């Protein structure tokens, strides 16, 4: 079946024969609001499906700080299996997963290499410096993609005047470059090089699931070159909360100590782990729908003269548009779209981000495309 004709019902076993989008509780959103707003701010805005709510309701729990929670344990084992790593640990957030990975890989006062627009550097408050006494050395990638030749000259000499270079990090998909998929051949080159020169490698794979679905390369293969990987359950997978960090058993044992230090130990965490486990098992086969919706949004934006697609490509479920200053600012664009019922985010003074997800269907995407074109065209028409 062609992607644009895909059925809109998402996988869910809680209410056979019904559309799970229509089954959200009244506490989540009123029918009027759901009709009025098309929320494309992020794939984190999704509500739990009925099947996910049932899994959460039935979750078997324990104390994951004193000893273990059985549902958390199942989630960690399943995550490690999917990612092809020895072990995994459940975390409250992707930021914590990334920061603990960096802390465990690096000794205090050392340095890691990263792309200048990556999430670890741009969106995590410099936590690596505040919490772990580390330094980031940023590198400008081409469309968010680093090349080995850019990194090779950056290892500091063994000299008392310099910090020690310890780690290289990559992000797949790259958020600020519109969900860009990292080319796997280059990933392998970088990680192989890192290993030969004594560096560790970490992947911020918050949206790794999208990369796997869009590239046709499974998660194990995408993760294989890295010493550690963080993944998020509350983005494209649609769980309410939670991330995981995966690596060797020894690495995860150290990560568990760091999680306790950072205040990330949770007691009856199976309540939220159940939602993540359900999402991991039930929602990984539906990403092509989100990616098709993003392509439709991208086509609509590309047809509007004031808008230009960042990187001139749509890889997965994120569309970033640069707004022509002659039209106005990103904030003005966001404000006008919100007034018409489409919600999105201004991520820079002249950049707007749209993210597709499992709570937005084809009809809503078509409506959003029409509204974007009308808003983008209206101001131009007034200024001519």
Per-residue pLDDT tens digits for 84-103: 999 999 999 999 999 999 99
In which residue ranges of the chain is CATH 3.40.640.10 found? 53-282
11 Cβ contact list (under 8 Å, min separation 6): 282, 283, 285, 286
Dihedral angle, C-alpha 337, 338, 343, 347, nearest 10 °: 70
Find, among 200, 209, 304, 215, the residue nearest to 255 by Cα: 200
Mapped onto helix, strand or coil, the DSSP state of residue 145 is: strand
Model confidence band, residue 379 (pLDDT cutoffs 50, 70, 90): low
Q: How far apart are CA 39 and CA 76, in angstroms?
A: 31
pLDDT over 80 at 13, yes or no: no
Can you tell me whether residue 94 is helix, strand or coil? Answer: helix
**Lowest-confidence pick of 63-67, 134-138, 251-255:** 63-67
Average per-residue pLDDT in the chain?
91
List the one residue out of 150, 198, 155, 153 whose CA is nearest residue 170.
150
φ and ψ at residue 364, rounded to 5 degrees: -65, -40
**C-beta separation of 293 from 356 below 8 A:** yes
Structural domain 13-42+286-383, CATH architecture = Alpha-Beta Complex (3.90)
Q: What is the C-alpha separation between 184 and 214, in angstroms, rounded?
A: 13
Rounded Cα distance between 330 and 335, Å, is 9
- Residues 344 and 39: their CA atoms lie apart, in Å, by 7
Is the pLDDT reported for residue 14 higher than 60? Answer: no
For residue 229, pLDDT over 50 is answered with yes
pLDDT of residue 123: 95
Residue 378's pLDDT band (boundaries 50, 70, 90)? confident
Contact 80, 228 (CB under 8 A): no
Percent of the chain predicted with pLDDT > 90 = 88
Which of 320, 322, 317 has its CA nearest to residue 293?
A: 317
Domain with CATH 3.90.1150.10 in the chain: 13-42+286-383
Specify whether the CB–CB gap between 211 and 175 falls below 8 A. Answer: no
Query: 53-282 adopts what CATH topology?
Result: 3.40.640
Give the pLDDT of residue 28.
45
Cα–Cα distances in angstroms (integers) from residue 95 to residues 92, 102, 170, in the given order: 9, 11, 14
The tens digit of pLDDT for each residue in 330-346 reads: 999 999 999 999 999 99
Q: CA-CA distance, 178 to 172, in Å (whole number)?
A: 11
Q: What is the mean pLDDT of residues 158-177?
A: 96
């Amino acid at each position: 079946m062609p992607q644009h004709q895909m059925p809109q019902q998402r996988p869910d076993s809680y209410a056979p024969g019904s559309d799970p989008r229509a089954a959200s509780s009244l506490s989540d959103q009123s029918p009027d609001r759901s009709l009025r707003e098309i929320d494309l701010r992020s794939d984190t805005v999704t509500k739990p499906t009925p099947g996910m709510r049932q899994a959460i309701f039935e979750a078997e729990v324990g104390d994951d700080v004193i000893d273990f929670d059985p549902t958390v344990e199942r989630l960690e084992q399943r995550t490690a299996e999917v990612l092809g790593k020895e072990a995994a640990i459940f975390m409250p957030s992707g930021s914590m997963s990334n920061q603990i990975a960096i802390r465990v890989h690096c000794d205090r006062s050392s340095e890691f290499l990263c792309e200048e627009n990556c999430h670890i550097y741009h969106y995590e408050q410099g936590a690596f410096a505040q919490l772990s006494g580390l330094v980031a050395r940023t590198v400008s990638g081409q469309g968010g993609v680093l090349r080995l030749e850019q990194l090779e000259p950056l290892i500091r000499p063994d000299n008392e005047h310099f910090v020690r270079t310890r780690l290289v990090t990559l992000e797949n998909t790259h958020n600020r470059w519109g969900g860009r998929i990292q080319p796997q051949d280059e990933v392998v080159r970088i990680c192989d090089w890192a290993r030969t020169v004594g560096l560790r490698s970490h992947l911020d794979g918050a949206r790794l699931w999208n990369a796997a679905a869009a590239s046709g390369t499974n998660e194990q293969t995408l993760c294989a070159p890295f010493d550690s990987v963080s993944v998020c359950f509350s983005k494209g997978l649609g769980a309410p909360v939670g991330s995981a960090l995966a690596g060797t058993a020894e690495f995860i044992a150290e990560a568990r100590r760091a999680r306790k230090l950072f205040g990330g130990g949770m007691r009856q965490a199976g309540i939220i782990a159940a939602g993540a486990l359900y999402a991991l098992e039930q929602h990984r086969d539906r990403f092509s729908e989100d990616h098709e919706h993003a392509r439709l949004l991208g086509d609509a934006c590309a047809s509007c003269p004031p808008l230009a697609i960042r990187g001139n490509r749509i890889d997965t479920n994120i569309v970033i548009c640069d707004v022509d200053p002659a039209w106005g600012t990103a904030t003005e664009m966001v404000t006008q779209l919100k007034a018409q019922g489409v919600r999105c985010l201004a991520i820079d003074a002249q950049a707007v981000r749209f993210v597709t997800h499992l709570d937005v269907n084809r009809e809503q995407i078509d409506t959003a495309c029409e509204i974007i074109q009308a808003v983008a065209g209206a101001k131009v028409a007034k200024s001519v």
